[in-house]
Structure 1
Amino acid sequence: MTNSSNLKLALIGGGGVRTPLVIFGINESARLLGAEELALYDPDSERVSIMAELGRAIVAKEGGRLRIRVAASAEDAVADASFVLSSIRVGGIGSRAQDERTALTHGYPGQETTGPGGVAMGLRTVGPTLEYARLVEKRSPNAWFINFTNPAGLITQAISHYTGVRVIGICDTPEELFHRIAGALGVSSKRVRCDYLGLNHLGWVRRVLLDGVDVLGDLLADDAALDQLYHASLFDHELLRCLGMLPTEYLYFYYCRSRALTNQRAAGTTRGEEVSRLNDQLIADLANHLQAGNPNEALSLYTSYLNQRSGSYMKLEASAGSAFDKSNMLEEDPFRAATGYHRIALDVMKALRGLESQRLIVNVPNHGAIAEIADADIVEVPCTIANNSIQPEACGTLPEAVRGLVLAVKAYERAAIEAAVSGSTMLARKAMLLYPPIGEWEPTQGLLNDMMQHNPSLQYFHACSHDETT
């Protein structure tokens, strides 16, 4: 595909707090992409208006002609779009906080995409996402649907299985780990190539090639280097040496569940609850600054928010640290960070437009990349993306140390999608039974009852269930 003018992009979930980052990235590459308009849609009209105004301030500050428009409807947003980015949070950040509190109450770590919180998020998100995807299929059948929405692998699989849209799932977790690996080695990221495979939020680096030579063994032997690989002190070094691989940060909620639970209980809160308070304050302050005609102050506030949130990432679960501890705050320009969703989204779009071929870790149908996984199942693997095509790399077989976990989580994802589509409470309980972070039958009824009680988006399980008994 060659560059052309008048390219339209759409962002579903445009009221999200990361929307200004996405706007910055698109504006930065708008001329290269030929992008003229970004249409934002969100059911929360107040939030999306704030994010659109902040986005216009970014465009004005950085220079550019990207037009930011609040769409009247989802159909208006996606009509005739070349790329549709989806980043929705059904129920808002309050639902995340409640999911994590429910998990904690039942004796599980509270986390938005893994454990009981991930189950609840997946169940309530599949249906609305499929509605948006079908709308894209109807109004912009040639568009690429770029899925940010979590749990990204599960949601991408639902879209791929139940619609005909061209979908790709993205997550910044692997690229962030690669960036940190290069930093620990003290070299440019361009000299490092990581051999990676897995599922979204369930992946491992098997080799670290520095100028073509595998240095993973040296890295694993170096305590000081290992200390630099994660946002917080997550994994015991002997655990990493035992695996002989480097897991992404979300494996903490599989390998260190008891520690995560202990720290959340000690803190008396969850990440979701802290972020909910941060977000509420952010939105109120942004609205005040923008209404007063102070966009630069709003941008400064937003930058501080991003640095506070990023600086406190995983601190609570790893050491009972708080997002409100200002000592954790980063001092950097988050818009120009080397990694992040906005960077990966732009790299994907530029590659698909035929502008720059890229090797990126994305969520796509397996097509033989991992031997043990069905071709149609979504995996997270390195892909060569170029000129409207995505080619997964052949990764071979899963390492024995992780094979059972990966296959069990993939079985859970399939069951959870089927439960969400059918409204079957029995299938929802089956999904939790198959899911290693839960993995028992008896707790599933209480978990599901509490999920439905606190989640209006899950009430359809009462009305739509085809179970004879629950």
Structure 2
Amino acid sequence: MRLTILGGGGFRVPLVYQALLSDRGVGRITSVVLYDTDRSRLSSIGSVLRQQAALGPGGAPGLGAAAGGVDGWEAPVVTETTDLDEALRGADFVFSAIRVGGLEGRTIDERVALDLGVLGQETVGAGGIAYALRTLPVAVDIAKRVAALAPEAWVINFTNPAGMVTEAMLPYLGDRVIGICDSPSGLGRRAALALGLDASQAFYDYAGLNHLGWLRGLHSGGVDHLPALLADPAALGAFEEGRLFGVEWLRTLGAIPNEYLHYYYFARETLAAVQSVERTRGKFLLEQQSAFYAETAEHPANALELWQKTRAERESTYMVESRAVADAGERDERDMSAGGYEQVALSLMRAIAHNERASLILNVRNRGTLRHLDDDAVVEIPCTVDANGARPLTVSQLTDHQAGLVSAVKAVERSTIEAAASGSRSAALRAFAWHPLIDSVNTAGQLLDSYVEHLPDLQAFR
């Protein structure tokens, strides 16, 4: 089978390839095509992947492709291209992880918002809207090319804002586009492990939108264990979200929020924390990854070692401002070593390709699952996956509080999609003004004008 990775020069691509190396099953991915608009980044990541392949699935020298394979195992063949059509032809799966505007664009997304006293996170609030406005037209063009050149391919979307991008691609790809994120499954896994449960056998009653959902039930052995978890301060303090939100607030909610809801529940404190640091997250990653790509270009033989070192620093500083607000301490080593979105992607591909029934939390059409939203709204919920794709499972309904926040943000998403498709300034202004983290129409207008000034892709919204 052939997997095409759009954004193939991206820093996290080796995570996907490492997951593929661990797959020894029949019918696994045998060919990987990396597509990117930046040839030098492609070359750097290609070097990392070749060194991963040389180590093989066990990560030990001499067990990989260079040794001719083990028990018939061979590493997926990697090719690189800057031609989108070439990358798409013949693809069985297309993994989309593009970043339009690069990390330079992300730094602008963050800084413009912060300068106007608004949170500038890349997928939440003003930064997420700006990111989407320049990303959605590119994502839609990709969807059209996939429909024309690889109509039988399944598109796995990780491009942020993941739910919004997935919804924008649906008219062209239908249910063959599925959005993924590792946050919900990571939350469920951590909650299960905190109680000593087998995370692989648990059902997570989780629902919402991408980066805006709640774990409302933790079912195993016919029992909902979430009440027991909420009643156990030691267990709550044993994992990231418990420390991030605090025992009292989690008990008050009666649910465990996705980590990104910290930006909503502790908006003032998080904004102050972000404003107090010298470098935004985007600026940090820009400097870090620029150094990685430059050093890899000079020393390609050390590509994998350089990537591993850079990734460890990246992961340890993830959401550092929110953890500082909550006094949550360092990230748990077990959390950083656990599989993330790459394992979700691999499980999704295997379930579809081999009709191996799986249960995954995905971004798909609502189809009546959550009554507060229409059928075509993309939501993040548990699904059953097989050769026919992903189908939503029954979950408990959102509370009024949850439904209100989800409905408000869905309205923002749809105004953003409309603006990106039409170039309508009015639609773009609505998106900024309606977002719960932007509390002024005047500020919304200033945000839009400043983004237009700093981002060439947004000139249509003058």
TM-score by length of 1: 0.90
> Which residue of structure 2 aligns with residue 209 of structure 1?
219
For the 8 Å contact 1:175–1:339, the answer to whether it is kept is: no
Q: Give the C-alpha shift of residue 453 in structure 1.
A: 1.5
> Which residue of structure 2 aligns with residue 314 of structure 1?
319
Moved more, 312-321 or 415-424: 312-321
1:28 to 19, 22, 27: 22
Does structure 1 residue 373 correspond to structure 2 residue 387?
no
Match of 1:234, SS state, is helix
> Which residue of structure 2 aligns with residue 102 of structure 1?
112
Percent identity at matched positions?
A: 40
1:447–1:383 distance in 2 versus 1, CA, 3 Å: same
1:305 to 288, 306, 310: 310
> Which residue of structure 2 aligns with residue 324 of structure 1?
none
For the 8 Å contact 1:30–1:66, the answer to whether it is kept is: no
1:143 to 150, 153, 162: 153
> Which residue of structure 1 aligns with residue 47 of structure 2?
53
1:82–1:343 distance in 2 versus 1, CA, 3 Å: same
Cα distance in 2 for residues equivalent to 1:231 and 1:370: 24
Q: Where do 1:396-435 residues align within 5 Å?
A: 396-435=396-435
> Which residue of structure 2 aligns with residue 185 of structure 1?
195
Match of 2:46, SS state, is helix
Q: Alpha-carbon deviations, 1:375-409, whole Å to 9, x = none?
A: 11101000000113221012253212211101111
Moved more, 158-167 or 56-65: 158-167
Q: Give the C-alpha shift of residue 356 in structure 1.
A: 2.1
Q: Where do 1:454-465 residues align within 5 Å?
A: 454-462=454-462
- One-letter code of the match for 1:179? R
Cα distance in 2 for residues equivalent to 1:398 and 1:232: 21
Moved more, 399-408 or 159-168: 159-168
> Which residue of structure 2 aligns with residue 437 of structure 1?
437
2:280 to 246, 250, 270: 270
- One-letter code of the match for 2:304? L
Match of 1:397, SS state, is coil
1:248–1:352 distance in 2 versus 1, CA, 3 Å: same
Cα distance in 1 for residues equivalent to 2:212 and 2:50: 36
For the 8 Å contact 1:159–1:165, the answer to whether it is kept is: no
1:133–1:276 distance in 2 versus 1, CA, 3 Å: same
1:258–1:448 distance in 2 versus 1, CA, 3 Å: same
For the 8 Å contact 2:2–2:91, the answer to whether it is kept is: yes
Moved more, 305-314 or 251-260: 305-314
TM-score by length of 2: 0.91
> Which residue of structure 1 aligns with residue 181 of structure 2?
171
Cα distance in 2 for residues equivalent to 1:364 and 1:394: 13
Cα distance in 1 for residues equivalent to 2:403 and 2:333: 40
- One-letter code of the match for 2:237? D
> Which residue of structure 2 aligns with residue 40 of structure 1?
34
For the 8 Å contact 1:172–1:341, the answer to whether it is kept is: yes
For the 8 Å contact 1:170–1:345, the answer to whether it is kept is: yes
1:105–1:373 distance in 2 versus 1, CA, 3 Å: same
What's the RMSD between the two structures over aligned residues?
A: 2.1
Match of 2:240, SS state, is coil
Cα distance in 2 for residues equivalent to 1:38 and 1:332: 29
Match of 1:360, SS state, is strand
- One-letter code of the match for 2:310? Y
Cα distance in 2 for residues equivalent to 1:389 and 1:165: 7
Q: Give the C-alpha shift of residue 300 in structure 1.
A: 2.1
Q: Alpha-carbon deviations, 1:242-272, whole Å to 9, x = none?
A: 1100000000111111010111122233211
- One-letter code of the match for 1:285? E
Unpaired runs of 5+ in structure 1? 1-6, 322-326, 463-470
> Which residue of structure 2 aligns with residue 161 of structure 1?
171
Cα distance in 1 for residues equivalent to 2:342 and 2:251: 33
Q: Alpha-carbon deviations, 1:317-353, whole Å to 9, x = none?
A: 33179xxxxx95876897xx43211100000000011
> Which residue of structure 1 aligns with residue 353 of structure 2?
353
Cα distance in 2 for residues equivalent to 1:94 and 1:57: 28
Match of 2:194, SS state, is helix
> Which residue of structure 2 aligns with residue 3 of structure 1?
none
- One-letter code of the match for 1:381? I
Match of 2:299, SS state, is helix
For the 8 Å contact 1:153–1:199, the answer to whether it is kept is: yes
For the 8 Å contact 2:36–2:82, the answer to whether it is kept is: no
- One-letter code of the match for 1:447? L
Match of 2:47, SS state, is helix
- One-letter code of the match for 2:196? G
